[in-house]
Structure 1
Amino acid sequence: MKTIAIFSLGLLSFVLLPLLTKAQTDEELIQNLIQDSFDDLFSGFKSEKLLDYYTEDFLLLEQGEVWDTEMILGYFERAKQNPNPVLRTNRFEFIETKVSGNTAWTAYHNYATFSRNGEVIQELYWLESATALKTENGWRLDMLHSTRVRTEQ
């Protein structure tokens, strides 16, 4: 009886363990990279984490403007000076993510809700795409293209 219990427990572990420790796919890693980068950078203004998400030559194409990392860091510094900051909450709906070797691209809807003192003051929506490179430190975004979508109000 004891042998059957041990064998059953071993078999159960063999079947369940892979399900519990499922490795993320590259597609999931790219999508998490987008979510986490917006949460840390454009919500938290954690400039020290910039290279955790972006390559050194990263470019953001934002509403017809070209932003490099120096411009992005300047934006973060100005945002940190705001004595009455807003809370930005990000939500993404991914359209498609493709990985080919050490490069990837993704297209998605980006929804941001801005609130202050628990009250929503603005909601914005963008259609975006990004490209990423697999580096020795993991996936990093090297380009993001953002177009604001006008919503009916």
Structure 2
Amino acid sequence: MKASILLSLAILGFMSHPTFSQTHPEEKLIQNLIQDSFDDLFSGFKSEKILDYYTEDFLLLEQGEVWDNKMILAYFDRTKQNPSPSIRTNRFDFIETKVTGNTAWIAYHNYATFSQNGEETQQLYWLESATAIKTKKGWRLDMLHSTRVRTQE
């Protein structure tokens, strides 16, 4: 009896360790927002979905340039005109996600693999951070900062 009580207390203590404690339930929503936005927008070029992921005043800080929704949509239009576009596959390693009330920030590694005709043509890697706000329609990104990381080849 005494041994089972000690074992139960040990298990509870182990599970309450920060490594095993539950994260904020909204953190996974923010991570999904990043994954889904890149899949739909920068892989699928689904212009009609931009406000499903971004606020109307969204800004993308990309390699020293400032892009707004209008510039992103123009980029999508130009890309859609390519008769044989590359296929982009996105993968993310999330560093940290913080949610406080109706605001959130996230830091992550963004890996993109490009392929054409079934053959990989390019791999790119960025270190990124983003902020999001919770709106009546759900979480939306209001800023994304992207820095290309050079890889050794």
TM-score, length of structure 1 as denominator length: 0.84
* Structure 1 SS opposite 2:85: coil
CA deviation vs aligned residue, 1:94-131 (integer Å, no higher than 9, x gap): 00000000000000000000000110000000000000
* Structure 1 SS opposite 2:95: strand
Q: Using the alignment, how far apart are the partners of 2:32 and 2:25 within structure 1?
A: 11
* Structure 2 SS opposite 1:75: helix
Q: Give the length in aligned residue pairs.
A: 130
Q: Which residue number corresponds to residue 89 of structure 2?
A: 89
Alignment RMSD: 0.8
Q: 1:1-153 residue pairs with structure 2 within 5 A?
A: 25-153=25-153
* Structure 1 SS opposite 2:38: helix
AA in 1 matched with 2:27: E
5+ residue gaps, structure 1, are 1-23
Q: Using the alignment, how far apart are the partners of 1:25 and 1:86 within structure 2?
A: 35
CA deviation vs aligned residue, 1:113-151 (integer Å, no higher than 9, x gap): 000011000000000000000000000000000000000
AA in 2 matched with 1:146: S
Structure 1 residue 30: deviation in Å?
0.1
Structure 1 runs of 4+ with >4 Å offset: none
Q: Using the alignment, how far apart are the partners of 1:46 and 1:110 within structure 2?
A: 20
Q: Using the alignment, how far apart are the partners of 1:123 and 1:131 within structure 2?
A: 25
TM-score, length of structure 2 as denominator length: 0.84
* Structure 2 SS opposite 1:40: helix
AA in 2 matched with 1:75: Y
Structure 1 residue 25: deviation in Å?
1.8
